[in-house]
Structure 1
Amino acid sequence: MPIPRETPSTDPGERKRALRRRLLEGRRTRPAAELEAAAAAIAGHALAWDPVRRARTVAAYVSVGPEPGTGPLVDGLRAAGIRVLVPVVLPDLDLDWAVHDGPGSLATARLGLQEPVGERLGREAVLEADVLLVPGLAVSPVGDRLGRGGGCYDRALARAAGRPTAVLLHDAEVGIDVPTEPHDRPVTHAITPAGVHALGS
């Protein structure tokens, strides 16, 4: 009796989970030297990007594991006199925000994240940011972003609609067909080691 072929799922949630698994496995195989070079290149492109150069406040994040590193980027923003907000994950997976005052202002939090220990500014503090730099695993040509599945950044992006928003990725993670659900919010750009990529139809 022939083995039935597996039919690809039409459920966006299932397709997202499969895509996440594949992309995370790809990230885990990247050598440390490649990650370090990628972090430096992304920082250079982001700091030269006009919306960031004009910004007084930028919402960013502290990278973990094999994510494209944000250390050089955050250091560069602070050196340029730009106020940097980074998230604090709340129990309901929404995001609070606090000012990044350097490595000494961070502590290890749940989920293995590095979060600021300073004053919490509230969920609406993201509206103070002129630009949002967000994490992700992939982005489509029209800006559909694949995150980790908690919806944290979709809520922040919804609050800060209308601002320039860039997801920081490795080059091969741009231009991927990303399944979408009603709560998903697109980004306007991607920044990779190769440069800044405008997204949208």
Structure 2
Amino acid sequence: MSEKTAVRRRLLASRRLLSDDDVRNASVVLARRALELPELDGAATVAAYVSVGHEPGTRALLDALRERGVRVLLPVLLPDNDLDWAVYEGAERLVRAGRGLLEPDGARLGADAVLGAGVVLLPGLAVDGRGMRLGRGGGSYDRVLARLAGAGAGAVLAVLLYDHEVVERVPAEPHDRPVRVAVTPGRTARFGGP
């Protein structure tokens, strides 16, 4: 078993120990803390995701961004694990998709739509002091991050986590890209710059 796989298993097991109340309560605090990010104040478009299961909750954050007039893009998982994007038009416009995900039912904008986002809110399992993010291992967001880097897009990359998921070190590979910000219910951590 690879080091990344072992760390992922441990972190996912820790998340499974959270109660539904823990997840709900953390999502409210996480949304409030994320909305304090100055980068979100000036962003016309934000790419985000719909949390599922015991992931740090994003629903309150998605609705608050939309209420601010922010155009929120959500991913649509393609058969090859790449991501297409569609505009978030409210919880009532989310549909069940593969792997237990929820996706917007609106028009697909293409994989490059993410290039127009000022902030990209990423799912993850952990981040370390270098800003290296550990994802679930499907490679979908690796493609997104490579697309952003290849286009020279200046989006601020932020990962949403629980407090204990900001760790000393995560295993990283040459293709992994660091994030600028980690937001947890208890704090905001910045990496590699202002």
State the TM bucket, normalised to the shorter chain: over 0.9
Q: What's 1:163 paired with?
A: 155
Tell whether the 8 Å contact from 1:141 to 1:200 is kept in structure 2 after alignment.
no
Equivalent residue in structure 1 for 2:181, among 170, 189, 196: 189
> 1:63 aligns to what SS in structure 2?
coil
In the TM superposition, what are the counterparts of 1:32-47 in structure 2 within 5 Å?
Answer: 32-47=20-35
Shift of 1:186: 1.4
Q: What letter corresponds to residue 164 of structure 2 in structure 1?
A: A
Q: Is 1:180 aligned to residue 172 of structure 2? A: yes
Unmatched 5+ stretches in structure 2: none
Shift of 1:71: 0.6
Shift of 1:48: 1.4
Q: Is 1:110 aligned to residue 102 of structure 2? A: no
Shift of 1:112: 0.7
Equivalent residue in structure 2 for 1:131, among 107, 112, 119: 119
Q: What's 2:73 paired with?
A: 85
**2: CA distance, partners of 1:147 / 1:195:** 20
The structure that has the greater radius of gyration is 1
Tell whether the 8 Å contact from 1:88 to 1:97 is kept in structure 2 after alignment.
yes
Tell whether the 8 Å contact from 1:38 to 1:193 is kept in structure 2 after alignment.
yes
Shift of 1:159: 2.0
**2: CA distance, partners of 1:123 / 1:156:** 8
Aligned residues: 189
Please list the CA deviations of residues 106-151 of structure 1 after superposition, one character each: whole Å capped at 9, or x if unmatched. Answer: 1100111001111000000001111000100001111111101011
Alignment RMSD, CA only?
A: 1.3
Q: What letter corresponds to residue 69 of structure 2 in structure 1?
A: G
Identity %: 55
**1: CA distance, partners of 2:171 / 2:74:** 27
**2: CA distance, partners of 1:28 / 1:20:** 12
Q: Is 1:53 aligned to residue 41 of structure 2? A: yes
TM-score, with length taken from structure 1: 0.91
